């Protein structure tokens, strides 16, 4: 398939200015921080710190490559089951990055949004997140979603709950619920679906990431631990993506 045809297959991608062959929306399951630390005899917290540095590099590279939307899976609904100390370390890291990275995001034209159940992190982090979202709201170069306390099933259940609530209150006609309107009740309302989902660390599973939105995403699994991930690895994933033929259920060309 030619690059031009692929841009067409991406739908609005061409119109949005994404370069041909470059995914308009990339989701990344940033996995392998713990194994990276263990391999070096370091505490897991240092693996997470190195992972945050990798995230910073990739935000920059994705912006330069012309990606319009980047969703980073940083903490899943299920990650609350980890030892309290690790949850504490991860929360501290988020607080630190929110405090120190916002000016860089503004400079790079990055608009930050957090999806997931942010309330579970407590009022202090909620305030910091809301402030960072407001401060970066003018960014137009790259839309960055960070998925925190995020789970695809929880997100879909919350949407169903809200729809049921409105139907019971008589403000929503159940017959009007379709795929498009349902999507409007998700954390990703108004955003394009991911074209490419990358998972690092060698695991080949979705782990509850963007279940609804990933219906027609392409998947790339890379056998590299997240703290070692850089522009070269991102470029390789994009190269793989560019060779895929996306059909969306239609007959092969």
Q: Which residues are catalytic?
A: 31, 79
Of 201-220, binders to ligand IPE (CB under 6 A) are 201, 203, 205, 207
- For residue 18, the SS3 value is coil
d(CA 85, CA 89): 6
Check binding of 197 to ligand IPE (CB under 6 A).
no
Q: Which does 205 bind (CB under 5 to 8 A by kind): ligand IPE, Mg ion, none?
A: ligand IPE
**Both tokens assigned to 43:** 């505490």
Q: Going along 101-224, which residue ranges are E strands?
A: 110-115, 142-150, 196-200, 218-222
CB of 202 to Mg ion, least distance (A): 10
Q: Which does 68 bind (CB under 5 to 8 A by kind): Mg ion, ligand IPE, none?
A: none
Rounded Cα–Cα distance for residues 12 and 192 (Å):
9
Query: CA 152, CA 155: separation in Å to the nearest integer?
Result: 5
**Contact call for residue 115 and ligand IPE (CB under 6 A):** no
Q: Binding to Mg ion (CB under 5 A): which residues in 21-40?
A: 31
Residues pairing with 25 in the sheet: 69
Q: Which stretch binds ligand IPE (CB under 6 A): 28-36, 62-70, 175-183, 214-222?
A: 28-36
91 binds, among ligand IPE, Mg ion, none (CB under 5 to 8 A by kind): none
Write out the residues near Mg ion by the rule CB under 5 A.
31
């Amino acid at each position: 398939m030619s690059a031009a045809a692929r841009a067409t297959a991406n739908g609005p991608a061409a119109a949005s200015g994404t370069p041909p062959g470059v995914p308009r929306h990339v989701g990344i399951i940033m996995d392998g921080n713990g194994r990276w630390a263990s391999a070096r005899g370091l505490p897991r917290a240092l693996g997470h710190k190195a992972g945050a540095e990798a995230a910073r590099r990739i935000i920059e590279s994705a912006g330069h490559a012309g990606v319009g939307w980047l969703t980073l899976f940083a903490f899943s609904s299920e990650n609350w089951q980890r030892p309290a100390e690790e949850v504490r370390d991860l929360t501290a890291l988020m607080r630190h990055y929110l405090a120190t990275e916002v000016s860089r995001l503004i400079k790079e034209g990055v608009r930050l949004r957090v999806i997931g159940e942010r309330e579970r992190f407590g009022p202090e982090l909620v305030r910091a997140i809301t402030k960072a979202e407001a401060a970066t709201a003018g960014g137009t170069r790259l839309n960055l979603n960070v998925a925190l306390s995020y789970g695809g099933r929880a997100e879909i259940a919350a949407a169903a709950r809200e729809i049921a609530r409105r139907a019971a209150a008589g403000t929503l006609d159940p017959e009007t619920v379709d795929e498009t309107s349902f999507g409007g009740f998700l954390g990703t309302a108004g955003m394009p679906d991911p074209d490419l989902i990358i998972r690092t660390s060698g695991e080949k599973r979705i782990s509850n990431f963007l279940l609804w939105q990933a219906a027609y995403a392409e998947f790339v699994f890379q056998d590299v631990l997240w703290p070692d991930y850089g522009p070269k690895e991102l470029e390789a994933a994009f190269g793989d993506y560019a060779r895929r033929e996306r059909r969306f259920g239609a007959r092969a060309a």
